């Protein structure tokens, strides 16, 4: 009889001890029988215990999350102002953050506007297109001390913004024609008017309709010793005048900068009539 009582007390003591241990272990995912017989000794013990986040004593998780108004994944374009803010949520605030994978042109700073002791901000402008996976770990103490949060991964999708020329292309072509450089490319001349697309863009012409090169060439009204070539120009794209002594060669060079004058609505090129050397001139646009 005494032996039976002692065995029951020992069993009850063991059961109570395990129950206390189980209560102190946070995030208990699975329990399984420890002893299957007899029925009075069916005890349970945790098989898997997860310790997640900074606060492992109370069972509450501290984790990194974007502030309201900031999306993940987030999209931006190269050269565009970029801002993304985050903070920790849970029982504790992180006092330092470990950051990796930031795209070039974007920097991290600790603290939020109006609260310099919490969270962090990414800001700048991405300089190289691509998909970036930025990893963030919050640490309970300064200099990555104490326990850390689970890794938060922010996806930044940075695309190359369309250039003014690409936007202009999309006004006249779509689908296969837009993808075909022989039709919509900068050096193509689909309307056959001897004005390549890039120059049509610079002069604000229609690349699908034959047109003459706009402008005038003749004596300069302000100086009879000069010839004046004047072209309508609104400052779209880059345009230069070039000269060549022999059309049988491709030896084109830019004319002297002092001979070219850009006005609000036109660009003018002047050359002396007294120059005895035969020369040829052309207008060239560049991206």
What would the pLDDT profile of 105-147 be if each residue is shown by its tens digit?
999 999 999 899 999 999 999 999 999 999 999 999 999 999 9
Q: What is the mean pLDDT of residues 173-190?
A: 96
**What band does 44 get if pLDDT is binned at 50, 70 and 90?**
very low
pLDDT > 70 in the chain, percent: 79
The model's pTM is: 0.56
- Map residue 171 onto helix, strand or coil: helix
**What band does 1 get if pLDDT is binned at 50, 70 and 90?**
very low
CA distances from 287 to 164, 201, 267 (A): 10, 10, 17
Q: What is the pLDDT of residues 225-280, one digit of tens each?
A: 999 999 999 888 888 999 999 888 889 999 999 999 999 999 999 999 877 678 89
Q: What is the pLDDT of residues 52-87, one digit of tens each?
A: 455 544 455 899 999 999 999 999 999 999 999 999
pLDDT for residue 17 is more than 70: no
Quickly count: other Cβ atoms within 10 Å of residue 270's Cβ. 19
pLDDT for residue 48 is more than 80: no
Quickly count: other Cβ atoms within 10 Å of residue 187's Cβ. 10
Predicted pLDDT at 54: 55
Asked if residue 282 lies in contact with residue 241, where contact means CB atoms within 8 angstroms, the answer is yes
Report which DSSP code applies to 92.
S
Count of positions (residues) in the chain: 287
Asked if residue 123 lies in contact with residue 113, where contact means CB atoms within 8 angstroms, the answer is no
Q: What is the mean pLDDT of residues 100-105?
A: 97
Q: What is the mean pLDDT of residues 216-222?
A: 93
Predicted pLDDT at 91: 82
Integer Cα distance of 251 and 255 in angstroms: 12
Percentages of the chain per state (helix, strand, coil), in multiples of 5: 20, 40, 40
């Amino acid at each position: 009889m005494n032996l039976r009582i002692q065995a029951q007390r020992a069993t009850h003591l063991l059961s109570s001890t395990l129950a206390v241990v189980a209560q102190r272990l946070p995030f208990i995912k699975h329990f399984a029988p420890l002893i299957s017989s007899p029925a009075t000794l069916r005890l349970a013990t945790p098989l898997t215990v997860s310790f997640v986040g900074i606060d492992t004593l109370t069972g509450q998780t501290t984790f990194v999350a974007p502030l309201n108004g900031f999306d993940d994944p987030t999209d931006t374009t190269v050269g565009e102002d970029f801002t993304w803010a985050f903070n920790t949520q849970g029982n504790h605030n992180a006092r330092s953050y470990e950051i990796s994978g930031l795209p070039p042109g974007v920097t991290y700073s600790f603290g939020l506007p109006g609260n310099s002791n919490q969270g962090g901000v990414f800001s700048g402008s991405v300089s190289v297109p691509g998909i970036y996976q930025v990893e963030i770990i919050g640490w309970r103490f300064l200099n990555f001390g104490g326990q850390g949060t689970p890794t938060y991964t922010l996806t930044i999708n940075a695309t190359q913004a369309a250039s003014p020329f690409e936007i202009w292309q999309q006004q006249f072509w779509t689908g296969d024609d837009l993808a075909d450089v022989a039709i919509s490319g900068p050096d193509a001349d689909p309307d056959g008017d001897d004005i390549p697309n890039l120059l049509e863009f610079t002069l604000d012409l229609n690349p699908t309709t034959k047109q003459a090169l706009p402008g005038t060439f003749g004596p300069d009204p302000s100086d009879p010793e000069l010839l004046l070539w004047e072209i309508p120009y609104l400052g779209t794209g880059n345009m230069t005048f070039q000269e060549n002594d022999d059309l049988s060669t491709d030896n084109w060079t830019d004319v002297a900068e002092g001979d070219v004058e850009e006005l609000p609505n036109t660009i003018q090129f002047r050359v002396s009539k007294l120059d005895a050397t035969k020369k040829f001139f052309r207008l060239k646009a560049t991206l």
